Structure 1
Amino acid sequence: MKNNGFGESAGRRYVVVGALGFAYMLNFLDRQLLAILVEPIRAELHLSDTQIGMLSGLMFALFYTLFGIPVAIIADRGNRIRLVAAACGLWSLFTALSGFARGFASLAFARIGVGIGEAGCAPPSFSILSDYFPPEQRGRALALYALGIPAGSFIGAFAGGWIAAEYGWRTAFLALGAVGLAFAPLLPLIVREPQRGRYDAPRETIDQPGIAQTLAFFWHSPLFILTSLGCGLTAFCGYGLLSWTPAYLGRVQGMTLGQISAFFAIASAGSMVLGAWIGAWIADRAGARNPVNYSRLPGFAFLASAPFIVGFGFADSWQASLALLVPALIFTSIHFVPALTLLQNRTPPQYRATVSSILLFLINLIGLGCGPLFVGMMSDGLTPTHGDRALGIALQSLAPFAILAFVCQMAAASQIRKEGHAA
């Protein structure tokens, strides 16, 4: 089997992708679990849609983003594998503790703990994979890793919904949290910490920068800022849909929890898998031929998602709702791998984990923090006049943000073109 020049076979490198991707799957499983269980949790704990939006969005994302950058700085200086393993154990513990919640405050405490733990997953993993794969293969590796998003969403929705339907929502949190607690100590036994920056030119290996220097590197790049804003606005739509579609299907379209766990899990996971692989093709093929495509093609996808988001709220059956949800999720899932590849390839190795964490900071603060909360607040505000249909209208209100994301991506594409001319 082909060796990468550092004593590792291609098979071994993909074992690393698989192990880190499994941790990422657990990361998103814990996020999707709350979304699929919104209705039974809301009924038992007597929560409003705004409170649910805070729990699934802002309360989680605020601490996830605040801890993300300092954790990434540690990753740029220390053992990244051990950091990911410790983070996995922490978020899994708090996922299990969510099953003991007795009200908004105790569930908020558990979600904050999950957010702090999950801050240590993705940025160190991006950095690790960049040291296992050369630049021309990073898009493929990051796409495989990103499959943890649909896989976690599928298992969180399917297994979580089934367990909740059979044994109650508290048992679902306890059971799925236990899986992460069992896996966390195995990760350092599977993945070896790689030499940092080993695929990069010697001239790129410089003294470890301070936090001010790292932040300046990011914020002085209009391309990085525009890409992050575009991705954040897309995540605003994507997380809004993912967080509230299960509740919409149950509350408005009359689906049972068992039906939602099966059909929504398949529709959402299949859409995100296809979106991730289209994104991988953009990263490794179209972007390699013309770097402008890293931004331009995802931008057109953002624009294409808007009419499907609007149509989703007009559907008169759950089958029609899911049929419109699929293309909306495909188009809002394409951006992630091209954005990661663009940033990883244009960032020296000593900055990578921290730069990735800044990207995730903006994606999650704008998207995960505000998207679900926006939908919840809109739903509560419209309920007195529109009843249960208010949630569908609130979901339709996400469409203008997809158009704003398109504008940001077109500006980023223009910046790539400008930098190319300057070079």
Structure 2
Amino acid sequence: MWVLLALLVLSAVMATIDRQVMALVVEPLKKDFGLSDFELGLVQGLSFGLFYCVAGIPLGRLIDKYNRVRILFLGILSWSIMTMLCGFSSTILQFFFFRVGAAVGEAVLHPAAYSLIADTFPPKRMVRAVMIFLTSVLFANGLAFIAGGAVVKAITSLPELPFGLRPWQATFFLVGAPGLVLAAFFLMVREPDRLSGDREGLATFGDSIRYIWGRRRDYGPLYGCSLLLAVPTMTTYLWMPTHFIRTYGLDASTSGYYIGVIYLVLPALGGFAGSVITEKWQNAGRHDASMRIVLLCALIGTVGGLAGIMSRLEHTLVLMLPLALIPVAYYANIVALLQLLTPSRMRGVNSALLLLATNLGAAALASPLVGAMSDTLFAGKPWGLGAGVALVNVSCGMLAAAIAVSSLERFGRVMRDSVERPSGPSHVL
């Protein structure tokens, strides 16, 4: 089972690097295709983010119905080829469609990975397995800028490239190519047995939706906490660099450096600590351990959310440290609970819906709402953006904490029932 997890981690790292590499070649892309910043934003956001979220739902249905390992193989193969083809684009329309293709391929990864982990690891080990997988994603965000920057620098320094490629084109080709090798390894992996839901036969998409709606009192708190606790991380990425520039007079490079260093390591540490505490509490008989971790993260997020209203830079950075500890810790526990609640034949759809609700919902709160507050409530104030970030983050943290408190008993029963269920992990490879 650890070999499968290692392959999933490598897939997550590869997908993240493929996704983030565009940020390193924005200027040459803009120049070669004659794009405005608005058009460039559509290519970066619409061509990937929207299709990535929406495609996950029908792909989740396929994951629930067919061989997950083979679907994952096709997904990795697809996004790798599409990333390489981005390097051969001669028009912006071609580039747009290749990015959409890469997004659809990558949309397979998370629903398939969560479903495979749930059927491979026992309930008490599931949080740690999900934590390792999620940590690799956040770590790869930092790695993408470090390794990707080195690739771009090396390619740019070459006197001439084959086939008349420009440096940004060669970058996409080199970043996508290793995925072809990784995909081949999944041909040697055996599909693990589905440990729940098989007796009921194949579930339709309608069956999945009706099941989720029928247990909305269970799923609602998970979806709600996931969405609300994603907001602080998203506001940090979207708005805090600009807040640093406006309020503290930093340049863009220094602002990015501060945030990059904080979020390169601390989410992994927080995720590891969260998984250790969860297992310790579970072994001590606290069946509500996972939701207690979510509650703890909500309280930490509420305090850390005040970072935006600090008058001194060092105070802001200190409050951002605990804020960076929570993303993996809370989400790993939410994903683990989601898998335990859901029959195996419905996990792909449910995981895709969670991803859709979390990403789009948090984006709606983190981006336009903060901007609107800065333009209206705090108009003309250099610290107005930070105040908007703080107000949104603290509100989301408090609401998530209230939801978690009200759900402790319910999810204690869920975990107790899953531990007592007579099923064990299946083996792969």
Q: Same fold (TM over 0.5)?
A: yes
1:408 corresponds in structure 2 to: 403
1:293 corresponds in structure 2 to: 289
Q: How does 1:296-315 map to 2 (within 5 A)?
A: 296-315=292-311
Helix, strand or coil for the counterpart of 1:147?
A: helix
- One of 92, 107, 122 as aligned partner of 1:119: 107
Letter of the structure 2 residue corresponding to residue 73 of structure 1: R
Asked whether the 8 Å contact 1:80–1:193 carries over to 2, the reply is no
Q: Relative to 1, partners in 2 of residues 1:241 and 1:262: Cα closer, same or farther, differing over 3 Å?
A: closer
- One of 221, 224, 228 as aligned partner of 1:226: 221
Q: Deviations over 1:297-353 (max 9, x none)?
A: 312321222232222453533x55433322112134321111111121222222222
Asked whether the 8 Å contact 1:234–1:402 carries over to 2, the reply is yes
The alignment status of 1:144 with 2:132, answered yes or no, reads yes
In structure 1, C-alpha distance between the alignment counterparts of 2:415 and 2:241, rounded to whole Å: 44
2:37 corresponds in structure 1 to: 47
Identity %: 22
The alignment status of 1:279 with 2:267, answered yes or no, reads no
Q: Relative to 1, partners in 2 of residues 1:178 and 1:308: Cα closer, same or farther, differing over 3 Å?
A: same
Q: How does 1:15-34 map to 2 (within 5 A)?
A: 15-30=3-18
The alignment status of 1:130 with 2:145, answered yes or no, reads no
In structure 2, C-alpha distance between the alignment counterparts of 1:47 and 1:139, rounded to whole Å: 41
- 1:396 deviation in Å? 2.4
The alignment status of 1:70 with 2:58, answered yes or no, reads yes
Asked whether the 8 Å contact 1:158–1:261 carries over to 2, the reply is no
In structure 1, C-alpha distance between the alignment counterparts of 2:112 and 2:279, rounded to whole Å: 22
Q: Deviations over 1:240-298 (max 9, x none)?
A: 21344445456655556665565433310212102221332354333463232322331
Letter of the structure 1 residue corresponding to residue 110 of structure 2: A
Q: Relative to 1, partners in 2 of residues 1:272 and 1:114: Cα closer, same or farther, differing over 3 Å?
A: farther
Letter of the structure 1 residue corresponding to residue 389 of structure 2: L
1:9 corresponds in structure 2 to: none
- Size of the aligned set, in residue pairs, is 404
Asked whether the 8 Å contact 1:38–1:247 carries over to 2, the reply is no
1:324 corresponds in structure 2 to: 319
In structure 1, C-alpha distance between the alignment counterparts of 2:180 and 2:124, rounded to whole Å: 30
Q: How does 1:213-252 map to 2 (within 5 A)?
A: 213-221=207-215, 222-249=217-244
- One of 128, 137, 141 as aligned partner of 1:153: 141
Worse-matched range after superposition: 99-108 or 261-270: 99-108
The alignment status of 1:336 with 2:326, answered yes or no, reads no
Q: Relative to 1, partners in 2 of residues 1:32 and 1:241: Cα closer, same or farther, differing over 3 Å?
A: farther
In structure 2, C-alpha distance between the alignment counterparts of 1:257 and 1:21, rounded to whole Å: 31
1:211 corresponds in structure 2 to: 205
- One of 351, 357, 362 as aligned partner of 2:346: 351
Q: Relative to 1, partners in 2 of residues 1:307 and 1:397: Cα closer, same or farther, differing over 3 Å?
A: same
Asked whether the 8 Å contact 2:271–2:329 carries over to 1, the reply is yes
In structure 2, C-alpha distance between the alignment counterparts of 1:374 and 1:103, rounded to whole Å: 35
Asked whether the 8 Å contact 1:239–1:371 carries over to 2, the reply is yes
In structure 2, C-alpha distance between the alignment counterparts of 1:106 and 1:66, rounded to whole Å: 21
In structure 2, C-alpha distance between the alignment counterparts of 1:313 and 1:21, rounded to whole Å: 37
Computing the radius of gyration from Cα coordinates, the structure with the larger value is 2
In structure 2, C-alpha distance between the alignment counterparts of 1:379 and 1:39, rounded to whole Å: 28
2:160 corresponds in structure 1 to: none
Q: Deviations over 1:51-105 (max 9, x none)?
A: 95x7776764432222111101111222323322433344456666778999999
Letter of the structure 2 residue corresponding to residue 398 of structure 1: V
1:175 corresponds in structure 2 to: 171
TM-score by length of 1: 0.77
- 1:403 deviation in Å? 1.8
Helix, strand or coil for the counterpart of 1:127?
A: helix
Q: Deviations over 1:107-152 (max 9, x none)?
A: 8767655543321110011112233323332222222111222211
2:161 corresponds in structure 1 to: none
Structure 2, gaps ≥5 residues long: 158-165, 421-429
In structure 1, C-alpha distance between the alignment counterparts of 2:83 and 2:373, rounded to whole Å: 27
In structure 2, C-alpha distance between the alignment counterparts of 1:171 and 1:370, rounded to whole Å: 37
The alignment status of 1:197 with 2:193, answered yes or no, reads yes
Helix, strand or coil for the counterpart of 1:365?
A: helix
